[in-house]
Amino acid sequence: MIAAAPLPLAHAGHWIWVLYVPPVAIVVFAIARTTIAERRKEREERRESERRNGDPDQSSD
Amino acid sequence: MILLPLAHALVARQDLPVPAWLFAWGASIVLIASFFALSVGWRRPRFEEDGWRPLGAGVSRTLLGVPAQIVCGLLGIVLLGVGIYAGLHGTEAPDRNFALTFFYVTAWLGFPLFSVFLGDVFKPFNPWRAVGRCAGAAFHALAGQPATRLPYPRRLGRWPAAVGLVAVVWLEIIYGSSGGVAVGLSPHAAAVAAIFYSVYTLAMMALFGTEEWCRNGEVFSVYFGMFSQLGAFEARDDRLGVRRPLTAATKWAAVPGSVAVVIASIGTTSFDGAQEGALKIPLLDTFNWLADRGMNLTWALRGADTIFLIVCIAGIALVYLLGVQGMRTVRGAPPVATLRTGFAHTLIPIALAYLVAHYFSLFVFQEQAQFTYLLSDPLGTTTTDLFGTASGGVDYTVVSANAIWYVQVGALVIGHVVGLTLAHDRAVAYWRDYRQASRSQYWMLAVMVAFTCFGLYLLSSGNG
């Protein structure tokens, strides 16, 4: 059984593609994070403007 | 086993100062820096108007006049004829026969490069167009009226060219297998394919008209014409003129099927690069799986290759469409269909970059053969020496392995930066607010980084 077990390091060359993934992963992660942050900001701004429009005391300030 | 001149592994292992994968990281940093520079400094579209202006009338008369058209058309017909004759009657050794190198290196790789710098140079040399125009003129003279043509279906657009492009590459890199071994396409098969293609093309020209078919369905006209959109030269109404480089590309993809053409171009090149490296093991596994199920060995190999060719094209399409879907999420975005066609031209420089990166060494080495012994002894029978160069050979030291690698990396980086620039320009045209435009381009940045890293991985795995 030991002889039949795969030895991943013997095929390290097959895993070289992993080194090409980080730039793509970093960019995709940064996009996802920025998009979520921008959407949250837009939502808060919309909520704030709705709150101001709905509150006559604040809208008159 | 027959020598494989068209197997694209004419590159030696490099002796690089840093590991190959670090180039992918560096290229990605260049793209990210370019993205920020564009976001800050590029706030209005600059490529939507081409600013075409005619050159002197004398230049146009010389280069586009009837004598030049006749000479170029005849040259195209003669070269196609020599290629077919050499394929049918010459040696079956692919590296000694004029046909394969002429069809698949000199023409297939040379015209895209020349088209970028000189405009649509294939158009005057297109042998089928020359024959179609002559036949049309002869019919007009005899019948006293132009031939009646069927209206070309608009919805079909460039789809015939996209399918034909895949077929041409399939023939080159997949069909040429025998008994489960990839032996390369034989000159005879290439010549027979050229005859079939000529008959098919002339029939389509008779049905739809020569120029109409060249604009939409003729594989080589559409494929080489796509690259000419990046260049500065263009002929309009028999006048040669100059325009701002890259501007013509912005209108190219409006015809249906154009997205498929450019994606097929990148996908087929990717497959060709991957089959001897990244996809070697999966291809072997699939081949064994098909062979174990009783499939003939030749067709098991062709089947495995075909499956992965389709996977490569589908993968490229998927990455592009994900980028389009990402752009759609940005406020004020046009419909998906508009985005899909509106940004397709940004892939043209990438298609060119992939072409240069994957075939640069092949082109440099095989063109030495083309212009020495293949030109003097087109049949490869060693009995002729037309130009006294039959004893010439290929100097494999003319460019070093490192120089090849740097050209490949440079082509990929420049191609993707140009693609990113075209995408940003289109975005500021679609989104009047440049901040929203920049936001939409996050997604194209991801597409470009993905294509760059993928391209460099294919090169490094193929070279290793």
Provide the percentage of residues in chain B whose pLDDT is more than 70.
94
Q: Using the beta-carbon criterion (under 8 Å), do B453 and A24 form an inter-chain contact?
A: yes
Going by C-alpha positions, the residue among B185, B6, B171, B188 that lies closest to residue B85 is B188
What are B366-391's pLDDT values in tens digits? 999 999 999 999 999 888 889 989 88
Beta strand B177-178 with B181-182 is antiparallel
Task: List the alpha helices (DSSP H) in A1-61.
Answer: 21-54, 56-60
> Which pLDDT score is estimated for A3?
46
| pLDDT for B179 | 59
Instruction: Look at A20 and B439 and tell me if their CB atoms are within 8 Å.
Output: no
Look up tokens 């132009």; give the residue.
B146
Q: Residue B178 above 70 pLDDT? A: no
Residue B10 is predicted with a pLDDT of 38
In the predicted structure, residue B2 carries a pLDDT above the cut 70: no
Q: How confident is the model at residue A11 (pLDDT cuts 50, 70, 90)?
A: low
What does the pLDDT read at residue B244? 94
Kindly indicate the confidence band of residue A8, based on its pLDDT and cuts at 50, 70 and 90.
low
Inter-chain contacts counted by CB atoms under 8 A, chains A and B: 48
Indicate yes or no: CB of A23 within 8 angstroms of CB of B24: yes
pLDDT above 50: residue B31: yes
Q: How far is CA B52 from CA A51, B48, B233, B239, B386, in A?
A: 54, 12, 9, 11, 43
Chain A residues touching residue B460 (CB < 8 angstroms)? 16
Q: Can you tell me the mean pLDDT for B56-73? A: 92
Chain B CA closest to residue A19: B21
Helix or strand (DSSP H, E) at B242: strand B239-242
| pLDDT at residue number A52 | 83
Nearest to B340 by CA among B351, B330, B325: B325
Determine the Cα–Cα distance for residues B448 and B80; give it in Å rounded to an integer: 37
Q: H/E/C letters for each residue in B90-114?
A: CCCCCCCCHHHHHHHHHHHHHHHHH
Residue B184 region, left (φ>0) first, then alpha (ψ -120 to 50), else beta?
A: left
Average pLDDT over residues B225-243: 93
Residue B155 is classified by DSSP as G
Residue B345 pLDDT grade (very low, low, confident, very high; cuts 50, 70, 90): very high
Interface residue B461 vs chain A (CB under 8 A): yes
Q: Are B73 and B125 in contact (CB under 8 A)?
A: yes
pLDDT at B392: 86
Please, which residues have CB within 8 angstroms of residue A29's CB and are 6 or more apart in sequence? none
Chain B hits for A27, CB-CB cut-off 8 Å, are 28, 32, 445-446, 449
Alpha-carbon distance B376 to B380, whole Å?
9
Least confident piece of the model among B10-14, B133-137, B173-177: B10-14
Q: What is the mean pLDDT of chain A?
A: 76
- Say what the pTM is: 0.89
Which of A13, A20, A22 is the closest to B457 by Cβ?
A: A20
- Residue B342 in this model has a pLDDT that exceeds 70: yes
Q: Is B23's Cβ below 8 Å from some Cβ in A?
A: no
For the packed helices B297-328 and B159-170, what is the interaxial angle rounded to 10 degrees? 140
Q: Is the pLDDT of residue A10 over 60?
A: no
Spatial CB neighbours of B243, under 8 Å, sequence gap ≥ 6 = B50, B51, B52, B53, B232, B233, B234
Residue B440's H or E segment, with its range, is helix B434-463
Task: Please tell me the least confidently modeled range out of A47-56, B69-78, B184-193, B321-330.
Answer: A47-56
User: Measured between alpha carbons, how far is B320 from B39 in angstroms, rounded to an integer?
Assistant: 21
Helices (H), B329-400: 336-342, 348-370, 373-376
Percent residues over pLDDT 90 in chain B: 69
What are the CA-CA distances from residue B346 to residues B84, B246, B262, B418 (Å)?
36, 10, 10, 8
Q: What is the mean pLDDT of chain B?
A: 90
**CA B442: distance to chain centroid?**
27
> What is the distance in angstroms between the Cα of B171 and the nearest Cα belonging to chain A?
29
User: pLDDT-derived band of residue B238, with 50, 70 and 90 as boundaries?
Assistant: confident
Confidence class for position B140, pLDDT limits 50, 70, 90 = very high
Buried-state track B123-144, b at ≥16 Cβ within 10 A, e below 16: bbbbbbbbbbbeebeeeeeeee
Confidence category of residue B435, pLDDT binned at 50, 70, 90: confident
The answer to whether B120 and B214 are in contact (CB under 8 A) is: no
pLDDT value of position B6 = 44
**Has residue B283 got a pLDDT over 50?**
yes
pLDDT, mean of residues A8-25 = 78
Q: Edge-to-edge strands of the sheet including B53-54? A: B53-54, B239-242, B233-236
Q: What is the pLDDT of residue B22?
A: 85
Evaluate if residue A5 carries a pLDDT over 80: no
pLDDT band at B279 (very low <50, low <70, confident <90, very high): confident
Contact predicate B63/B240, CB 8 Å:
yes
Closest CA to B101 of B394, B443, B404, B414: B394
Tokens representing B190 are 């290439």
**In the predicted structure, residue B264 carries a pLDDT above the cut 60:** yes
Lowest mean pLDDT among B23-27, B84-88, B150-154, B158-162: B23-27
Q: What is the pLDDT of residue B463?
A: 58
Q: Which residue of A has its CA nearest to B455?
A: A20
Q: What is the mean pLDDT of residues B168-182?
A: 80
